[in-house]
Amino acid sequence: MILTIHRGSKQIGGSCVELRSASGDRILLDVGMPLTQPDGRDWPHGTMTRPGEELRREGVLPDIDGLYADSTRDVSALVLSHAHLDHHGLAHHVHPNVPVYGSRGTIEMLRASKLFVPDAAVPADLRELPTAGTVSIGSFSVRGIPVDHAAPDSRALLVEADGQRLLYSGDLRAHGRQRHLFDELPEAAGAIDVLVLEGTTVGQPQGSHGFAVEGDVEIRLTKLLRHDGGLVVVIASGQNIDRAVSVYRAALATGRELVIDSYQAYVLMALKDVCPEAPQFDSASVRVKFIQYHVAKLKDAGFWELACRMSRAGKVTAEQLAANPSGFVYLARSSRATVDLLRYLARTTRPTVV
């Protein structure tokens, strides 16, 4: 088995790993979008959905023959570790006949992005990795092993071919609610010949990364909600299910209502079976703050009745948040809508922003 790291060994993000078996079969593990341009600047809006031949010529897409739609297919499959853009962001450029595998949570997040995110795209042939067991791809056998990460339903990938076993960790951590998965990974993988390991904090002293374990985050949020006399707004990724659980539990412990926007309500609903502890729009003490753009996207996708159910279950308005700020905690995302809401609320109250 031949290992080629096309990108990801000298930078964070843009991960892309190729494996070739003795019989010539090829699979890719992740095709991510680099986090920044080579000079450190952000990518221009819409870069990921520009024509693939342009992105390949400019080096945004790794130069891999037989992978993309403008070439003759010579890759058996692409397997995704998780639903963060630096691991899946360029996957929609693969040849339409190349199947793209991911966990159920990963696939749900890709579909949610397609629904809500402007210019987002998903691969043509999405297939679900089995929850248990392996999938055969040519001469390769691939098994997804659950790992603890901020992206829902993340997987390390155990690949076997030619009598060799390679473990690709994807991204993983040991401070989330599923820390046990980190501890159990060596036993779950068994004996391996090659380890391709995510290494953002390799070489740093233990604890120097500064990340609190999620249980401590929940305790700190509970104390804040109990002692703060106004609205508390917690900024976090809409995909960070651990954080949603922490904020929800803190809200229940302090008699507040959790406010989520309509995008988050949809994502949490889509992940209900994967993350059963996550709050839902119809859970006790959960309210939904509607964003006009989200409602339009739901309606365009044929989910108008779902939007109506969300509204009936617990719609909350900016005026209600302003009138009773101490009764709510808003789990918000970094967005224009959040900025506009904070500006409105600042006329009458002083929200605490985490």
Those residues of the chain that have pLDDT short of 50 are none
> What's 226's domain CATH number?
3.40.50
User: How many structural domains comprise the chain?
Assistant: 2
Q: Given this model, what pLDDT does residue 100 score?
A: 96
For 221, the token pair is 């949020």
User: 50 with 119, same domain?
Assistant: yes
User: 246 with 144, same domain?
Assistant: no
User: 34 with 132, same domain?
Assistant: yes
> What's 7's domain CATH number?
3.60.15.10
Q: Given this model, what pLDDT does residue 131 score?
A: 85
The answer to whether residues 329 and 258 touch, using CB atoms and an 8 Å cutoff, is yes
Give the integer Cα–Cα distance in Å for 97 and 95: 5
- Phi and psi at residue 207, to the nearest 5°: 90, -10
User: 64 with 143, same domain?
Assistant: yes
- 206 located within any domain: no
User: 154 with 240, same domain?
Assistant: no
The answer to whether residues 278 and 244 touch, using CB atoms and an 8 Å cutoff, is yes
Q: Given this model, what pLDDT does residue 208 score?
A: 60
User: 178 with 218, same domain?
Assistant: no
Give the integer Cα–Cα distance in Å for 24 and 161: 11
- The candidate with the shortest Cα–Cα distance to 196, out of 45, 345, 3, is 3
**Within 10 A of 318 (CB to CB), how many other CB atoms are there?**
12
User: 228 with 127, same domain?
Assistant: no
The most distant pair of C-alpha atoms in the chain lies apart, rounded to whole Å, by 69
- 202 located within any domain: no
User: 135 with 238, same domain?
Assistant: no
- Phi and psi at residue 166, to the nearest 5°: -120, 135
Give the integer Cα–Cα distance in Å for 308 and 311: 5
- 209 located within any domain: no
- 302 located within any domain: yes
Residue finishing a domain among 167, 196, 225? 196
User: 284 with 327, same domain?
Assistant: yes
**Within 10 A of 218 (CB to CB), how many other CB atoms are there?**
21
Give the integer Cα–Cα distance in Å for 279 and 285: 9
User: 169 with 259, same domain?
Assistant: no
Domain hosting residue 15, numbered range: 2-196
User: 164 with 222, same domain?
Assistant: no
Residue finishing a domain among 196, 231, 265? 196
Task: Give the length of the chain.
Answer: 354
Residue finishing a domain among 196, 222, 242? 196
- 316 located within any domain: yes
- 222 located within any domain: yes
Give the integer Cα–Cα distance in Å for 100 and 107: 10
Q: Given this model, what pLDDT does residue 207 score?
A: 63
- 101 located within any domain: yes
Residues 6+ apart with CB under 8 A from 186: none
User: 180 with 233, same domain?
Assistant: no
- 57 located within any domain: yes
